Structure 1
Amino acid sequence: MNSNQRDEAERLQAEAERAEREGRPAGIDPAVDAYRLVQRAVVNAPMPPVPLGFAQRVAARLRAMEESARVESGLTGFLMLAFVAGAAYFLLPTMGTWMPDFQSTLPHFPWTMAMAAGLAVLVAWGVDRGWVATHPRMNNSR
C-alpha cells in the first residue's frame, strides 16, 4: 500500500464515520458504504467474556516483567562499572607520560567545577533511584 492508497483509505474511513454520525442514507458512494459496514461490524461486535483468573495472570506477568527489568538494570550498571574499571586499569599506568603534554596544550579548564558538577549529577541520580524504589506510586515516568 503506497501513500496515495493509504490517504484514500483514511479519507474513505473518515467519510464513513461522518456519514454514520449524520445518519446519511447508503448508496451515494459504494466505497464509503463498504467502510460503513465494517465500522458497524466493529462497533456492534459482541464483547467476549473475560476468562476466570485473567486479572491474576496479567498481574503475575507484570510482576515477572518488573523483576526482569530490575535484573537487566542491575546487570547494565555492573557492566558499565566494569567498563570504567577496565578503562582505568589500562589508562592509569600510561597517563603519567602523556597527561602533562595534554594539559599544556589545553586552555585552563576548571577541573574542580567539572568534578563538582559530575558529583552533583551522580547524587541527583542516586536520590532519584532511591526515591523511585521507596515511593513507586509517586513516580509518573514509568
Structure 2
Amino acid sequence: MSHRIGIRIAAMALLMSACASALAQGGKPTASSQTAAAPPAASSPAPTDHQLAAAVRHALHATRKRGLKSTFIRVHARDGAITLTGVVADQDQIALAISVAQGVQGVRTIASKLEVRSDGEMKGSQ
C-alpha cells in the first residue's frame, strides 16, 4: 500500500513539474501569475532629450577609433529627433556620424547639418 502512495506522490510531482515547465515556456498563465508578472521591457520610459543627446555624443566619441573626429560635432535632441551640426574633415565622417547616431536606442530621425572642412580650417573652436 505504501508503494502505491509513493508512486502517486511521484506522479503528482512529475505532473506539477511538467505544468510549471509548460507555463515557463509560454503556456497561458493563471490570473495570479499575471498580476505578479513584471512589465515588459518595451514599456520602459523613453529617454529624456538630454539623456538621448548625451547617449549620441558618447556613441560618436566612442567611434574615434573608426576615424570619426567628433570634437566639432554638436548634438541636439527633441522627442527622438536628432540634429547633428558642426564640421568634420570629409564626407565619409558625415556618413559615419549619421550611421552611429541611428544606432543609438531611442533615436527616431536624424537631421545632418554637418559641413566638410579641411583639417587646417578646423583649428580652435568652430
Q: TM-score, normalised by structure 1?
A: 0.27
Q: Could you say which structure has the higher helix fraction? A: 1
Higher relative contact order (CA 8 A, sep 6+): 2
Query: Quick check: which has more Rg, 1 or 2?
Result: 1
**Which structure dedicates a bigger proportion of its chain to strand?**
2
TM-score (norm 2): 0.30
